[in-house]
Structure 1
Amino acid sequence: DHSVEEAVQLRSQLDDQSHELQWTQDELATSIHSLDRVTTALRDTEAELDRERGTPGGSAPPAPTPSVPAPAASGSTSTCVTRLSEELRQARRDLASLQATRDVSTGRVVQLEGDIRRLREEVSQLNQNQATSASENSDLRT
C-alpha cells in the first residue's frame, strides 16, 4: 500500500532528522561551553593587561601595534604587555570563530526543529488517513 510506504519513509526521515537535531544540539552545547571559556579567558587577559599597563578597571585601550612600541618602565613589563596583547588578540579571534559556529548551529537547530515538526504533522495526517481508509474498508465489507 502506497500510504504505508509513505508513512514508513516519513518516519525514517523523522528519525534521521531527530538524530541530526540531537547531534547539532550537542555541538551547540559544546560551542557555548567553549565560548564561555574563551570569554572568561578574554576577560582575565584584559584585566591582567589593564594591571600591567596600570589602567584602573574597564577595558584596556587597544594594544599598541608593532610599529608603535609600548612605553614601558622595564623590558619585562614591555614583554609581558606584548604577550598579553597577543593573547588578547588570539582570544578575540577564537571568540569570533566560536560565535560564528554557535550562530550556524543555532540556525541549524531551528531549521531541524521546523523540519521535525512538519514531518510529525505529515505522519499524523497519514495515520489519520490510514485510520479513515481502514474504517471505510470495514464499512464496505459489512
Structure 2
Amino acid sequence: MQTLDSLAALIHDNRQLLGITRQGYDLWIDSGTIEPGSNRETERGLHFCDYRYRLALSIDAMHGHRGGLLLAMLHNWETSLSREVRADLDEPQIITSTATKNRGGRILQVEYTLDVRDGIYLTRDSNGPVQAIGDRWTFGEHTLNIAEAISLTSEVRT
C-alpha cells in the first residue's frame, strides 16, 4: 500500500532525528475495506477498486522534547497526500502518554492512526489473473496512448 510505504519511509528516514530506534516503533494496517473503483482508465491504469484502511503507528519510547517535531512531520506528510487518499475520511487521531520520567525529561508513548484510501490500478494483460469489464488485467506498468497532435480534414457540402 502506497500510503503505508510512504509513512514507513518518513519514520525510517528520520529515526535519528526523532531519537527512536528501529525496534522502538511499529507501523501496520489496523483494518480495511475494499470499495469499488471508477473502472476508468487513466495514466495509472484501470481504477479497479480502492483499499480503504486504518493506518496505525506506535512509538514506544520517544523523548518528549521531540514530540513537536514528530507532530510537524506528520502534519506535513498528511497534507502532501493526494485528495484521493484522504477524501471524506476522519481526521487523524494521536494519543500520547508519559511512559517514564528521567533526568533527560519525559519519555512518551505515541499512538497515531489515520484513515486512508489507496487506489488499486490494473493494466491490460491477456494472461492476467483478473477478469473484468470484458478483458484480462494484472498489476504492472501501464501505457496509455495519448495523441500529441491531431489534424482534421473535412469536406464542405452544399
TM-score range, shorter-chain basis? under 0.3
Q: State which structure, 1 or 2, has the greater radius of gyration over its C-alpha atoms.
A: 1
More helix by share: 1
Query: Which structure is richer in relative contact order (CA contacts within 8 A, separation 6 or more)?
Result: 1
More strand by share: 2
Normalising by the residue count of structure 2, what TM-score does the alignment of the two structures yield? 0.24
Normalising by the residue count of structure 1, what TM-score does the alignment of the two structures yield? 0.26
